[in-house]
Amino acid sequence: MRLRFRSFLLSGALLAVSSFAAASPGPLLPAAGLPAVPQPEPLRVRFYDPYRLLSPEAHDWLEKEVVRAFGASEVGLTFVGRGGPGVIPATLYPELPDRWDVAPEAIGVAIGVHGGPRSIFLSLGAAERALGLPLARRQNSSAKVKPRSRRLPGSQSRRLGIALGRVLAHELVHTIAPECPHTRHGLMAERLSRRMLTAPGIGFDALATRHLRHAAAGMAAPETG
Closest distance of CB 27 from Zn ion, Å: 29
Which of 24, 85, 40 shows the shortest CA–CA distance to 216?
40
**Strand partners of residue 120:** 90, 110
Q: In this structure, are residues 87 and 120 in contact, taking their beta carbons and an 8 Å threshold? A: no
Nearer to Zn ion, 8 or 93 (CB): 8
Instruction: Please work out the total of residues on this chain that contact Zn ion, with binding judged by CB under 5 A.
Output: 1
Closest distance of CB 50 from Zn ion, Å: 24
How far is the CA of 200 from the CAs of 17, 20, 88, 107, 124, in angstroms?
A: 15, 9, 26, 20, 21
Binding mask 7-46 for Zn ion (x = CB under 5 A): -x--------------------------------------
Closest distance of CB 10 from Zn ion, Å: 11
Between CA 213 and CA 166 the distance in angstroms is 18
Closest distance of CB 182 from Zn ion, Å: 6
Nearer to Zn ion, 122 or 152 (CB): 122
The values of phi and psi at residue 63, to 5°, are -65, -40
Residue 62 DSSP code: H
User: Which residue has the CB atom at the shortest distance from Zn ion?
Assistant: 8
Nearer to Zn ion, 52 or 214 (CB): 214
**Positions in the binding site for Zn ion (CB under 5 A):** 8
